[in-house]
Structure 1
Amino acid sequence: MSLRELASEVNISFKSVHNILIDILGMKRVAARLVPKELNFVQRAQRKHVAEDMVSRASTDPTFMKRIITGDETWVYEYDMQTSQQSSEWRPENEPKPKKPRQSRSKIKVMLTVFFDYRGVVHSEFLPKGETVNKEYYLGVMKRLRESIRRKRPDLWQHNSWMLHHDNAPSHTAIIVKEFLAKN
């Protein structure tokens, strides 16, 4: 409840509710913390190895991190999310933040593919209705990404110094995609 709602509920002033909660009870307003999925030991070790490798490269080449273009796909759902302010709760200072389950998703959704670097979005596109992310579709995405890099990041394009960072989804690791990336 908000302070105003509490004040209205117990029929006292806003300022009194504020003083009671904060000064007397020592409470503060905290937002719920989303809990990420758990990684197994091998996944954690691999992430650690990759992070250490990137830190090592970044320490020897100051432009290294600025040349990475990262991409992934995600489902975008149609529903109204609560802001962190709306979902926050009053809790005593020594209590942990509440855990909030992820909101149930609406049935209306669309797949978004987005690529970005340290300056912002380089390329994004929505999956056309009725299509799936397969090797042929992803090959087309790679071709459109190259064109976006040529237009939006001419410095990286001119020196052919950009690096693509994406996960090992089957469409990303297909032979035709790997051949295209090796060639281009």
Structure 2
Amino acid sequence: MRFEESQSRCVFDIITGDEFWFYHYDPELKEQSKVWMSTSDPRSIKIHRIKSAGEKNGGYFFMKFGLIKSVSLETGAIVNASWYVNACLPQVFQAVSERRETRGLIFHDDNARRRIELGLRTNFCWKIM
């Protein structure tokens, strides 16, 4: 009864997403690490790990038909309730509205926190379940 014996189309109404956090590296080129050695010298071993050149974080959101939107943070910013409600979600819903109407969507976020509940209710007129 819940899914009307596989006739329900609710799966097309679900949006899900999560945060991402990527580090990127600027590896040393092979030419940069070459040194002159005699045949009798022991083989050199590189033991240090290079530091990351930077990081990229943000959020990505999917529906049944694939990726809707990937929203990146500005450099140095962090994922918090303000960014999520004021910057991220409006972009997601703009992207969804280009494909379909936004009424009747089911938004699933595994990291939804109680602190963003008020922002979601006031900005988007949502009910939190």
Q: Shared fold by TM > 0.5?
A: yes
2:125 maps to: 182
1:126 maps to: 72
Q: Which runs of 5+ in 2 are unaligned?
A: 26-48
Deviation string 1:125-162 (CA, Å, 9 cap, x unpaired) is 111101111222111211111111111x22xx16x122
Letter in 2 for 1:72: D
The correspondence of residues 1-184 of structure 1 with structure 2, limited to 5 A, is: 56-57=2-3, 59=5, 61-78=7-24, 107=52, 108-139=54-85, 140-151=87-98, 153-154=99-100, 157=101, 160-170=103-113, 173-183=116-126
Shift of 1:73: 0.5
Distance 1:171-1:137 versus aligned 2 partners, 3 A rule: farther
Distance across 2 between alignment mates of 1:59 and 1:179 = 36
Distance across 2 between alignment mates of 1:123 and 1:163 = 16
Q: Which has the higher helix share?
A: 1
Query: TM-score if structure 1 supplies the norm length?
Result: 0.46
Q: Which has the higher strand share?
A: 2
Q: Which has the higher contact order (CA 8 A, sep 6+)?
A: 2
Distance across 1 between alignment mates of 2:15 and 2:122 = 19
Q: CA RMSD in A?
A: 3.0
Distance 1:172-1:181 versus aligned 2 partners, 3 A rule: farther
Query: TM-score if structure 2 supplies the norm length?
Result: 0.62
Q: Which runs of 5+ in 1 are unaligned?
A: 1-55, 80-103
Aligned length, in residue pairs:
101
Percent identity between matched residues is 23
